[in-house]
Structure 1
């Protein structure tokens, strides 16, 4: 193996290590966002519960207490649940897209490294090794097709996840709106 081939392999290995570290960082960033969302949701739920308790304790009589509870807690809870689901879907979608992009870049680098190594190796073959060169070229073509197929299926998965996130968000928004309409009608009576 020539020194330039060894250097190419080492450079490819270093690039892949950097890529794995980058993907781990992206996954951790997504996890951090999820933890922050959950903490924010917990904080808001605690504040809402404390507010409701303060209002209940400040009621002077049963009628005032009942009027406090005829507000629309179901609509508010549904809206908050829909907002949480939307934020969660956005975090999952953006993290998945970042990981997909990093994976695509990694596969492109590996494909180029394989192509370069194959070309270097073919240049170093002795005369009369045309059969080995053809075999190496065939293996290179197969590897290129495999990388292309992986990238295409990975892109399809990314699009599918994105479409699902959008669909879930739309359904949650419509469900909240549908739930709010009957509650408004009842409150108006």
Structure 2
């Protein structure tokens, strides 16, 4: 005859191990993708720097250097914004994956805890109802707290998205202004 507490403990440990493996897998995938993104960005930066340096070295006068500087600056800013957007997208996707795993785990935990509380109510000795009611109250409070944390994470993601959009617009305006100023300088 097996002990139900041991079976429950074993099942809980197995579930926790699966959750941890899912989280570790997500982290490794994220690090791998971020590394690939950084390597591609570094390679592109190097190639653009070499090409830009060669163009600047071939310039014949100061006005041509000023013109080249303005032309070379715009793609760099655009590339930086693309890179930032890709990093943001990667982090957002990883956050969603982690949240999904955690929500699934919490849902399972909540169901199991509710079941245990219900069993405790039916098989409790005299006065056990108070204990079961306390456990149910704690479960309800943790569910509300988890819901609040999930809502806050979504709000933070929305704020970060809005900040990325503002940064993109500001960068575009700054790039346009810089280009215009460089053209004026080159024309003199």
Q: Same fold (TM over 0.5)?
A: yes
1:97-176 equivalent positions in 2, closer than 5 A: 97-127=96-126, 129-176=128-175
Closer, same or farther in 2 for the Cα pair 1:169/1:33, shift >3 Å?
farther
1:1-189 equivalent positions in 2, closer than 5 A: 3-4=3-4, 6-55=6-55, 59=58, 63=60, 67=64, 70-71=67-68, 72-127=71-126, 129-183=128-182
SS of equivalent residue, structure 1 residue 63: coil
After superposition, what is the alpha-carbon deviation per residue over 1:23-65, rounded to whole angstroms, capped at 9, x for unaligned?
Answer: 22222222222222221121112212332344466x4xx6389
SS of equivalent residue, structure 2 residue 124: coil
More displaced 10-residue stretch of structure 1: 36-45 or 151-160: 151-160
2:19 and 2:101 in contact (8 A); partners too: yes
| TM-score, scaled to structure 1 | 0.74
| TM-score, scaled to structure 2 | 0.74
1:122 and 1:133 in contact (8 A); partners too: yes
After superposition, what is the alpha-carbon deviation per residue over 1:129-181, rounded to whole angstroms, capped at 9, x for unaligned?
Answer: 33333333333333333333333333333333333344434433443344445
Structure 1 residue 188 displacement after superposition: 7.5
Closer, same or farther in 2 for the Cα pair 1:64/1:143, shift >3 Å?
closer
**Structure 1 residues not aligned, in runs of 5+:** none
SS of equivalent residue, structure 1 residue 85: helix
**Structure 2 residues not aligned, in runs of 5+:** none
Alignment partners' CA distance in 2, 1:85 and 1:43: 16
Q: CA RMSD in A?
A: 3.2
SS of equivalent residue, structure 2 residue 125: coil
